[in-house]
Structure 1
């Protein structure tokens, strides 16, 4: 089994959320939240701020921890062909500066402020739905039910 610890930003402005369009090496495009892998010895709190800057060009500050999500992707569905566990730490983040731009030397082709009702029509990572559910419900446990994958919702 492979394993990844990641930090994700839920950046909201009114009824809009900041999404990043990730393009795989195969050319597939999926919308996701800004965020990514926590580096060795890095605090997830610092990682989410770094990832927002790298992927979007924007400076951000963490407002609060929203929760943690753990999901296991079966080997048959995982990109690397082995069972994969992703633990995501989700933060509510506020953009405080910078300008949206594609990721420099990365896989994010663009970042856009997206009306929350429009998210349902996008091909997206399930982590978008997890982050929005955490932001909407603010559960005391920091945990929401797993998001079903299929159709427009991808691993």
Structure 2
């Protein structure tokens, strides 16, 4: 079965083009990291390749390598910024695999021992909260 073609109007493509706002944490030539607007824990960040790809099944090797390298940077910064005990990394592929937005993205979520991952409620977090979390991660990135 062939997956549908990449949709240039998905929300992440619009963010990458500057058509929609985001709380950017990190950017390099190949990736950006932004706060998830519906976080499942404080500091929940998304790492996105700048080049179009629907998901892991069609991404170019150099793009997935860049995404993983950025996810590692973000995870290390989250450990510092949130005094986390660990990090959960999720990546979903196609609707049956749980993917909702069809532009490759990796969830990087700081975790605290004994605190369960919050549910995906579909409700957006307070913008000021996200701004504060993004700033904490950016400051931690400066120390790495």
Under a length normalisation based on structure 2, what TM-score does the superposition of the two structures give? 0.29
The answer to which structure has the higher helix fraction is 2
TM-score when normalising by structure 1: 0.28
Say which structure is richer in strand: 1
